[in-house]
Amino acid sequence: MSDLKRGLSEAVGTAFAAAGLPAELGRVTPSDRPDLADFQCNGALPAAKRAGRNPREVAAEVVAGLAGDTRLAGVEIAGPGFINLKLSDAALSQRAREIAADPRLGAAPVVAPRKILVDYGGPNVAKPMHVGHLRSSIIGESIKRIYRFRGDSVVGDAHFGDWGYQMGLLIGAVTDENPAVKGAVDALNAGTGEDAQAVAVFEQNVSLGDLDRLYPEAAARGKAEPEYRDRARKLTAELQARKPGHFLLWRHFAKVTKVALERDFHALGVDFDIWKGESDVDQLIAPMVEELDAKGLLVDDQGARIIRVTRQGDKRELPPLLVVSSEGSAMYGTTDLATIVDRKATFGPDQVLYVVDQRQADHFEIVFRAAQIAGYAAEGQLEHVGFGTMNGTDGKPFKTREGGVLKLNDMIVMTRDKARERLHEAGLGAELDPEAFEDTAHKVAVAALKFADLQNFRGTSYVFDLDRFSSFEGKTGPYLLYQAVRVKSILRRAADEGVEAGQITVSEPAERDLVLLLDAFDQALADAYDKKAPNFLAEHAYKLAQAFSKFYAACPIMTAEAPVRASRLALAQTTLRQLEQALELLGIEAPERM
């Protein structure tokens, strides 16, 4: 089964070939003038140019070749030689029935499924999440779902930042503040402590709140005081050498952070398949460094060991990959390189997509080049899927009113408050019981945040404007939910009245437009997939909701005569299924009522 565009492209291509012209020029696209045609083909112009002929003449020859194609209700030549194609009601009805009967709602799967790993989210122990993490989670989750829906086998990995300098900072700050914790750590390091006892001390004394409070102070001191920084570096190196007290305390930090993060991500509809951390590849680093050394790839540089990655023709000089620091510790890039080795061994992905802030573009370019030099990955196998920032009204990356970085949970709470307010304002949700109202408000909040992000091409930065994001009017998540809920309520009413859906037969312009949109789902998905850009799907969902709205205004359902009513009901059902599928791929869920 193929979409209308592909089917028509084949037919027009055959007509080109029959006229002795290249078949690929028969490609059709949705019409620029939907009032005149459904699709158009511009191929007669380049064909005529190549053959040194008159384009209208060429077009006429192609049009003649299309005579007898019963799918077409009208074929016209416009302007210098554009071919305008209008589909018959029968062809549109047929396509609508196919989509209605298709569990995939008209979306073709990929021809050759691949193994894809999506590296996204990237939260850290203690270091607060910023807008980059929020965007990564939203975009990465959607890309993961889109790839999976098209048939690839996909694994999403949070790549938890749990192994860097911030861990040394925290070990120092926590033991300085709390003598009981320091005692337990020292005892373990001296070989006199008990693991279980120490863990009990940590659980009693160190909460996530403590880490949140201590980390910014410690980070600031590390910047200002070289001695403090050096001690933190030393503690980090000791942790990486698995000094038992440090190691157990670190495990406690990672655990409390992960529990809270998983809860917050889950509330946002973001769930990782695996939650591996930088620390998980620690054991791979020593053998990797040895191998890199044996291959002669490491260069000594003032006590550190690096891999140079510059290439001929580079416009600017990329710094080398720092593999081992002069203190002997592994760096951000080192764990990334070892993670490539680990993923190759454990999952063997055909491609890895790193959904990370555009500001890390150089980091990834350096790591990818080093991986290629080392023979760990092929060209193009590792791809950085970058994105712009979510800004405040000051044009800088969004911060809270107090000037701090946002916490995911605070963001959700704030958006949910706004959603409740908006629901009240719009007179919605009044008949819901308190629990259902809360559920609806939460779904509206998630839709507001996610759709505001995903409707832009990921590379574009945008301004955080909760008022606009949460409006039920305009191009917003709440508008889409509202439309979905409206269809649900129509379908409920039909079911209550015992009216059943039947065979789809379209004739009205608004019905035809709706079917053309249902048909465009496949292309939207293919674009979102190829460009790793969910905005194509977001745009489709928005246009589909609008087309439904117009259809419903022009074509009454329940008051229509029986066969028409059954057809329109089936059209409404199919639209809802496709809309919910598209929303699901964006990571958005519609409530039953509002």
Sign of the four-CA dihedral 45, 50, 52, 58: negative
SS3 204: helix
Query: Are 185 and 176 spatial neighbours (Cβ–Cβ below 8 Å)?
Result: no
CA Rg value for the chain: 29
Nearer to ligand ARG, 159 or 229 (CB): 159
The nearest distance, CB 531 to ligand ARG, in angstroms, is 20
Q: Are strands 28-30 and 39-41 parallel, antiparallel or unpaired?
A: antiparallel
Structural element, H or E, at residue 292: helix 282-294
Nearer to ligand ARG, 381 or 546 (CB): 381
* One residue of 5, 144, 150, 159 binding ligand ARG per CB under 6 A: 159
Taking residues 335 to 364 in sequence order and writing x for each that binds ligand ARG by CB under 6 A, - otherwise, the string is -x-----------------x-x--------
Nearer to ligand ARG, 124 or 471 (CB): 124
CB count within 10 Å of CB 126 equals 25
Instruction: Calculate helix-pair angle for 535-554, 477-496, nearest 10 degrees.
Output: 40
The nearest distance, CB 30 to ligand ARG, in angstroms, is 38
Among 103, 110, 123, 122, smallest CA distance to 154 is for 110
Nearer to ligand ARG, 382 or 590 (CB): 382
Sign of the four-CA dihedral 371, 373, 375, 378: positive
The nearest distance, CB 356 to ligand ARG, in angstroms, is 4
The nearest distance, CB 122 to ligand ARG, in angstroms, is 3
Nearer to ligand ARG, 88 or 358 (CB): 358
Query: Which segment (16-24, 116-124, 228-236, 392-400) binds ligand ARG by CB under 6 A?
Result: 116-124
* One residue of 13, 65, 161, 591 binding ligand ARG per CB under 6 A: 161
Q: Which of residues 279-338 bind ligand ARG (CB under 6 A)?
A: 336
Query: Which segment (118-126, 297-305, 409-417, 534-542) binds ligand ARG by CB under 6 A?
Result: 118-126
The nearest distance, CB 378 to ligand ARG, in angstroms, is 18
Nearer to ligand ARG, 124 or 142 (CB): 124
Nearer to ligand ARG, 352 or 514 (CB): 352
CA dist 413 and 392 (Å) reads 18
Query: Are 510 and 518 spatial neighbours (Cβ–Cβ below 8 Å)?
Result: no
Beta strands in 158-274 (DSSP E): none
Nearer to ligand ARG, 366 or 545 (CB): 366
Helices (H) and strands (E) in the chain, counts: 22, 13
Q: Tell me the three-class secondary structure of 503-554, residue by residue.
A: CCCCCCHHHHHHHHHHHCHHHHHHHHHHCCCCHHHHHHHHHHHHHHHHHHHH
φ/ψ of 575, rounded to 5, equals: -60, -45
**Residue number of the CB atom closest to ligand ARG:** 122
The nearest distance, CB 365 to ligand ARG, in angstroms, is 12
Nearer to ligand ARG, 342 or 527 (CB): 342
Q: Are strands 321-324 and 351-355 parallel, antiparallel or unpaired?
A: unpaired
Sign of the four-CA dihedral 320, 325, 330, 332: negative
The nearest distance, CB 269 to ligand ARG, in angstroms, is 20
The nearest distance, CB 382 to ligand ARG, in angstroms, is 10
The nearest distance, CB 175 to ligand ARG, in angstroms, is 24
CA dist 18 and 115 (Å) reads 41
Nearer to ligand ARG, 28 or 117 (CB): 117
The nearest distance, CB 203 to ligand ARG, in angstroms, is 25
119 binds ligand ARG (CB under 6 A): yes
Nearer to ligand ARG, 31 or 236 (CB): 236
Query: Which segment (117-125, 181-189, 211-219, 537-545) binds ligand ARG by CB under 6 A?
Result: 117-125
122 binds ligand ARG (CB under 6 A): yes
Nearer to ligand ARG, 124 or 137 (CB): 124
124 binds ligand ARG (CB under 6 A): yes
Instruction: Calculate helix-pair angle for 244-267, 226-240, nearest 10 degrees.
Output: 90
CA dist 334 and 19 (Å) reads 60
Beta strands in 226-372 (DSSP E): 299-301, 304-307, 321-324, 351-355
The nearest distance, CB 392 to ligand ARG, in angstroms, is 20
Query: Which segment (10-18, 119-127, 524-532, 579-587) binds ligand ARG by CB under 6 A?
Result: 119-127
Please report, in angstroms and rounded to a whole number, the separation of the first and last CA atoms in the chain: 36
Residues sharing a CB contact under 8 Å with residue 537, sequence separation 6 or more, in sequence order:
142, 146, 454, 524, 525, 528, 582, 585, 586
The nearest distance, CB 126 to ligand ARG, in angstroms, is 11
CA dist 568 and 573 (Å) reads 9
141 binds ligand ARG (CB under 6 A): no
Distances in Å between the Cα of 12 and the Cα atoms of 34, 64, 83, 405 are 19, 11, 10, 55
φ/ψ of 160, rounded to 5, equals: -65, 125
The nearest distance, CB 124 to ligand ARG, in angstroms, is 5
Nearer to ligand ARG, 42 or 124 (CB): 124
450 binds ligand ARG (CB under 6 A): no
453 binds ligand ARG (CB under 6 A): no
The nearest distance, CB 158 to ligand ARG, in angstroms, is 9
Kindly state the number of chain residues that form the binding site for ligand ARG, as judged by CB under 6 A: 8
CA dist 475 and 492 (Å) reads 26
Structural element, H or E, at residue 251: helix 244-267
Nearer to ligand ARG, 356 or 570 (CB): 356
Query: Are 309 and 366 spatial neighbours (Cβ–Cβ below 8 Å)?
Result: yes
261 binds ligand ARG (CB under 6 A): no
The nearest distance, CB 388 to ligand ARG, in angstroms, is 15
Among 220, 172, 96, smallest CA distance to 515 is for 96
Nearer to ligand ARG, 152 or 336 (CB): 336
Residues that bind ligand ARG (CB under 6 A): 119, 122, 124, 159, 161, 336, 354, 356
